[in-house]
C-alpha cells in the first residue's frame, strides 16, 4: 500500500511539465523530477546532495547563483519567494523561467523543507513582446492618417465658420473633430504606455513658468469645456519649475479632462498652485461624481477604472500621469467624497520663485 503510493507519487512528480524538486533548509537538493533533469540532460546522481546553486541549472550564472542563495535563505525563514530567472537548457538555449521557492512547515511551525518549482515562460514572454511591438506599431501607423483627417476637419470648420450658413453641417464637422481628438488621445495613451513599460519615456527638462503654463492650459481647456467653466485661482508671483513642459501640460490636461468628464454641466472646476514645504503644490478640483474611498488608491493603477463609471477610455490616463510625475520626482494623490467631488493634488520640486 505504502509502496504503491510512493510509486504513484513518483510518477505524478516525474510526469509534471513543470520543474519540481525538494531542498533542505540549507539549500541542498534532495529530489529533482524528470522534467528538470531532462532540461539539463543530467541524472539524479549528478545533482542530488549538492547545494542547489552549485548544480548545472545555476552554476553558469554568477548573478543567478547569488539571487538563489538569498532566496533560499528567505524561504528557510518561511517566506514564499518568486523569481524570474534565465537558464541555459541542454542545447545551450537561454530560457526564461518563472521560479518559486515554497517553504514546507512542520507541526511546530518551523520550516522543514523547501519546494523549488519552475515553469518555462520563454514562449509566453516572446508572445507578450510581440503583442507590445504590434500595439506600438499599430498605434504609430494609426496616428498618421488620423492627424491628416484632423487637419482636414479643422480646415473645414474654419471655412464653415467664415463662409458657411448651414449650422447642422458645422455641428457634424465639430463632432468629427471631437471624435478624432478622442482617437488621438487614446492612441497617445497606448504609445505612452508602451514607452513607460519599456522604460523609454524620456523627459526634456527646462525651466518653465508654472503661471504661464496653467493659464495657457486653462484657456485651451475652456474652449473644449463648453457648458462647464474652469477657473484658475490666480497666484500673484511667478513660480518656476524645472520640468518637461509638454509632459506637465499632459498631466494638467489629463486631470482637467477627467474633471470635465466626471462632473455635470454648470458645476465648478478649479485649478490652483502654491508653494508648500519647499515644493510646488498644484490642485485640480471638481464637484463631480467623486470616487469611493476604497478605489482612491487604485485609480492610479494601469488599466484601472471605477466599475460603475467605466468611461470609454482605457484607464491609462492617471497611470501615465503618475509615471510622468514620478520621473519628475513628484507625486500625486486624490481627496474625494462620493457625490460631492474630487480634488487631485500633485507636487513637484520647485526651481525658484519671487517670494
Site string for ligand ADP, 274-303 (x = CB under 6 A): ------------x-xx-x-------x----
Question: Per rule CB under 6 A, is residue 65 in the interface with ligand ADP?
Answer: no
Nearer to ligand ADP (CB atom), residue 230 or residue 318: 318
Q: Does 309 bind ligand ADP (CB under 6 A)?
A: yes
Comparison of 316 and 348: residue with beta carbon closer to ligand ADP:
316
Please give the grid coordinates belonging to residue 20: 519540481
Q: How far apart are CA 286 and CA 282, in angstroms?
A: 14
By the rule CB under 6 A, 265 interacts with ligand ADP: no
* Minimum distance of ligand ADP from residue 214's CB (angstroms): 17
Minimum Å gap between C-beta 336 and ligand ADP is 7
Q: Residue 70: how many CA atoms within 13 Å on its side-chain side? A: 8
The reply on whether position 272 binds ligand ADP by CB under 6 A is no
Nearer Cβ to ligand ADP (122/296): 296
Query: In the bound complex, what is the minimum distance in angstroms from residue 316's beta carbon to ligand ADP?
Result: 6
State the minimum distance, in angstroms, from the CB of residue 57 to ligand ADP: 42
Burial code of 334-352, b = ≥16 C-beta within 10 A, e = fewer? bebeeeebbbbbbbbebbe
- Beta strands at 268-276 and 279-286: parallel, antiparallel or unpaired: antiparallel
Question: Nearest to residue 321, comparing CAs of 294, 350, 347?
Answer: 347
State how far the Cα of 285 lies from the Cα of 171, in Å rounded to an integer: 30
Q: Whose grid coordinates read 504609430?
A: 140
Residue 206 grid cell: 527646462
Q: Site for ligand ADP (CB under 6 A): how many residues?
A: 21
**Quick one: DSSP state of residue 107?**
T
Report in angstroms how near the CB of residue 194 gets to ligand ADP at its nearest.
Answer: 16
Angle between helices 245-261 and 210-225 (to 10 degrees): 40
> What minimum distance in Å lies between the beta carbon of 303 and ligand ADP?
8
How crowded is residue 150: how many other Cβ atoms within 10 Å of its Cβ? Answer: 17
Q: Binding to ligand ADP by residue 311, rule CB under 6 A?
A: yes
The 3-state DSSP class for residue 114 equals strand
Binding of ligand ADP by 313 (CB under 6 A): yes
- Where in 314-343 is the site for ligand ADP (CB under 6 A)? 314-319, 342
Q: What's the sign of the alpha-carbon dihedral 35, 37, 41, 43?
A: negative
Contact call for residues 258 and 273 (beta carbons, < 8 A): no
Map residues 234-263 to x or -, x wherever contact with ligand ADP holds by CB under 6 A: ------------------------xx--x-
Which chain residues interact with ligand ADP by CB under 6 A? 258-259, 262, 286, 288-289, 291, 299, 304-306, 309, 311, 313-319, 342
Amino acid at each position: 500500500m505504502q509502496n504503491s503510493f510512493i510509486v504513484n507519487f513518483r510518477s505524478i512528480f516525474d510526469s509534471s511539465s513543470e520543474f519540481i524538486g525538494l531542498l533542505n533548509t540549507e539549500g541542498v537538493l534532495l529530489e529533482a523530477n524528470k522534467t528538470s533533469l531532462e532540461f539539463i540532460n543530467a541524472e539524479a546522481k549528478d545533482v542530488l546532495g549538492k547545494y542547489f546553486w552549485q548544480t548545472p541549472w545555476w552554476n553558469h550564472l554568477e548573478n543567478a547563483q547569488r539571487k538563489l542563495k538569498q532566496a533560499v535563505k528567505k524561504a528557510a525563514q518561511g517566506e514564499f519567494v518568486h523569481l524570474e530567472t534565465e537558464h541555459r537548457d541542454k542545447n545551450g538555449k537561454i530560457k526564461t523561467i518563472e521560479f518559486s521557492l515554497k517553504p514546507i512547515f512542520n507541526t511546530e511551525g518551523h520550516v522543514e523543507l523547501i519546494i523549488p518549482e519552475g515553469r518555462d515562460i520563454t514562449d509566453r514572454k516572446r508572445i507578450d513582446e510581440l503583442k507590445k511591438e504590434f500595439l506600438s506599431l499599430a498605434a504609430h501607423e494609426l496616428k498618421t492618417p488620423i492627424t491628416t483627417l484632423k487637419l482636414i476637419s479643422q480646415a473645414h470648420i474654419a471655412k464653415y465658420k467664415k463662409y458657411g450658413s448651414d449650422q447642422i453641417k458645422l455641428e457634424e464637422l465639430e463632432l468629427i473633430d471631437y471624435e478624432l481628438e478622442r482617437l488621438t488621445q487614446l492612441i497617445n495613451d497606448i504609445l505612452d504606455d508602451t514607452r513607460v513599460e519599456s522604460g523609454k519615456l524620456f523627459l526634456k527638462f527646462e525651466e518653465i513658468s508654472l503661471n504661464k503654463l496653467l493659464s495657457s492650459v486653462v484657456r485651451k481647456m475652456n474652449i473644449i469645456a463648453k457648458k462647464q467653466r474652469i477657473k484658475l485661482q490666480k497666484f500673484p508671483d511667478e513660480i518656476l519649475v524645472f520640468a518637461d513642459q509638454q509632459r506637465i501640460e499632459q498631466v494638467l490636461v489629463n486631470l482637467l479632462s477627467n474633471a470635465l468628464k466626471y462632473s455635470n454641466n454648470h458645476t465648478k472646476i478649479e485649478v490652483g498652485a502654491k508653494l508648500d514645504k519647499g515644493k510646488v503644490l498644484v490642485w485640480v478640483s471638481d464637484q463631480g461624481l467623486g470616487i469611493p474611498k476604497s478605489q482612491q488608491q487604485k485609480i492610479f493603477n494601469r488599466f484601472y477604472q471605477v466599475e460603475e463609471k467605466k468611461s470609454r477610455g482605457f484607464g491609462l490616463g492617471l497611470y501615465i500621469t503618475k509615471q510622468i510625475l514620478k520621473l519628475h520626482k513628484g507625486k500625486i494623490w486624490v481627496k474625494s467624497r462620493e457625490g460631492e467631488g474630487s480634488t487631485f493634488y500633485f507636487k513637484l520640486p520647485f526651481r525658484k520663485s519671487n517670494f
